[in-house]
């Protein structure tokens, strides 16, 4: 469905910070060996920023008032994925240095779990380990929650993007030229299994009840494996069920597509390139818009009651909306409610019963918390 605000491609690009100006803070741009080196061609929110843009204040850990965000991390390079697990908030960083970091949910100093010259993007946490993907090193690693030496889970992951740990297996999307969805049983001697290949740009990932769901940001689709996750033989034809299409839009050669994915109840929710949060029944059915995202949505999360999402670009924001379809009196899609605005390119978001957490990819990369 076309959106009126997408008519002006130049205005749209400007809103996302796509002006062709020299970046004044080179550490902000995602490094070439990180997942968004591919992702940048899709959303480009970490692209060069206008020199004329107002410089935000320096990132400092801490907060001043309960109604304002508290900064819990100031990564020196663009952060990657964000996960809340147990008493901690975890994130990856896409440049050299502390590439896996955690901080207490309630406040306190951050703690580096891993330092490396190769940045990290994808992230999954269980009760023993933190798993992280390093696209530049073509591997997936893990480190104990209690600290210790990193261990290579697999060195056969050319460009891992999203990671999901489910039971005794790890799943990831591989965004190389022949995009794949992969599975690895976490047992000694196990090798990665290709669940699907031939994808354009597989990205967001979710696993439930023996099925894998993923988005493809370039062709604008949401897909699911056909059956439970045994994995086909190498000679088999790998196919998938397409749950939805038409989730991407291309403006001046840049494609904006479904960058995240969330399963809630009987539905899969995605932020799409048309400026909507949409959902489709996971058993199959019609795609329906749920809420107007008020911009180009990127990350999405839920507390089981409401949806939360970010919108891209300098001046991006956090929003909240219903899980059910929201209509205006004239039948149009109702807009989301802004929770906190004027953010320097907010990206991934996570929520708990009490707080909202999100990453910022702008001129001052940060990880923030805001009380709900």
CATH of the domain at 161: 2.120.10.30
The confidence score (pLDDT) of residue 40 equals 40
pLDDT tens column, 332-348: 999 999 999 999 999 99
The confidence score (pLDDT) of residue 195 equals 92
Total count of domains within the chain: 1
Average pLDDT over residues 351-364: 95
**Structural element, H or E, at residue 13:** helix 9-15
First vs last C-alpha separation in the chain: 32
How big is the chain by its Cα radius of gyration, in Å?
Answer: 19
Q: 107 or 325: whose pLDDT is higher?
A: 325
The confidence score (pLDDT) of residue 229 equals 54
Question: Domain span at residue 197?
Answer: 4-371
The span from the CA of 170 to the CA of 183, in Å, is 6
* Residue 53, SS3 per DSSP: coil
Share of the chain above pLDDT 90, in %: 71
**What pTM was estimated for this model as a whole?**
0.84
The confidence score (pLDDT) of residue 210 equals 87
The span from the CA of 318 to the CA of 371, in Å, is 12
Lowest mean pLDDT among 35-44, 227-236, 321-330: 35-44
pLDDT-derived band at 36, boundaries 50, 70, 90: very low
Q: What is the DSSP string of 213-267?
A: EEEETTTTEEEEESSSTT---TTSPP-EEEEE----EEETTEEE-----EEETTE
pLDDT-derived band at 304, boundaries 50, 70, 90: very high
Compute, in degrees rounded to 10, the torsion defined by CA atoms 169, 175, 271, 314.
120
Find, among 290, 297, 313, 288, the residue nearest to 257 by Cα. 297
Average pLDDT over residues 245-264: 93
Flag whether pLDDT at 30 surpasses 80: no
Lowest mean pLDDT among 18-32, 72-86, 106-120: 18-32
Contact indicator for 204, 173 with CB cutoff of 8 Å: yes
Contact indicator for 185, 169 with CB cutoff of 8 Å: yes
pLDDT-derived band at 25, boundaries 50, 70, 90: very low
pLDDT-derived band at 228, boundaries 50, 70, 90: low
């Amino acid at each position: 469905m076309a959106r009126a605000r997408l008519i002006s491609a130049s205005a749209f690009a400007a809103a996302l910070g796509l002006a062709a100006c020299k970046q004044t803070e080179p550490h902000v741009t995602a490094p070439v060996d990180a997942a968004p080196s591919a992702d940048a061609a899709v959303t480009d929110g970490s692209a060069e920023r206008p020199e004329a843009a107002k410089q935000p204040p320096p990132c400092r850990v801490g907060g001043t008032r309960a109604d304002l965000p508290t900064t819990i991390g100031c990564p020196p390079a663009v952060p990657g994925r964000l996960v809340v697990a147990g008493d901690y908030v975890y994130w990856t960083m896409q440049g050299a240095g502390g590439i896996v970091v955690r901080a207490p949910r309630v406040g306190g100093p951050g703690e580096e779990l891993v330092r490396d010259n190769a940045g990290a993007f994808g992230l999954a946490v269980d009760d023993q380990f933190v798993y992280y993907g390093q696209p530049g090193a073509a591997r997936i690693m893990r480190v104990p929650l209690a600290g210790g030496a990193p261990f290579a889970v697999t060195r056969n992951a050319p460009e891992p993007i999203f990671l999901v740990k489910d039971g005794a297996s790890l799943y990831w999307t591989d965004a190389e030229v022949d995009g794949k969805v992969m599975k690895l049983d976490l047992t000694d001697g196990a090798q990665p299994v290709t669940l699907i290949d031939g994808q354009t740009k597989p990205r967001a990932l979710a696993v439930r009840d023996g099925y894998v769901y993923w988005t493809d940001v370039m062709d604008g689709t949401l897909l699911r494996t056909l059956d439970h996750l045994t994995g086909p033989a190498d000679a088999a034809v790998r196919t998938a069920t397409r749950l939805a299409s038409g989730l991407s839009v291309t403006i001046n050669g840049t494609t904006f597509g479904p960058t995240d994915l969330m399963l809630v109840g009987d539905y899969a929710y995605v932020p799409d390139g048309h400026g909507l949060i949409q959902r489709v029944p996971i058993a199959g059915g019609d795609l329906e818009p749920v809420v107007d995202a008020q911009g180009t949505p990127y990350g999405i999360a839920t507390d089981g009651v409401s949806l939360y999402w970010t919108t891209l670009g300098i001046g991006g924001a956090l929003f909240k909306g219903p899980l059910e379809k929201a209509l205006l009196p004239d039948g149009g899609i109702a807009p989301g409610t802004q929770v906190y605005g004027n953010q320097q390119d907010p990206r991934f978001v996570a929520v708990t019963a009490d707080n909202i957490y999100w990453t910022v990819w702008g001129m001052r990369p940060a990880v923030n918390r805001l009380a709900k």
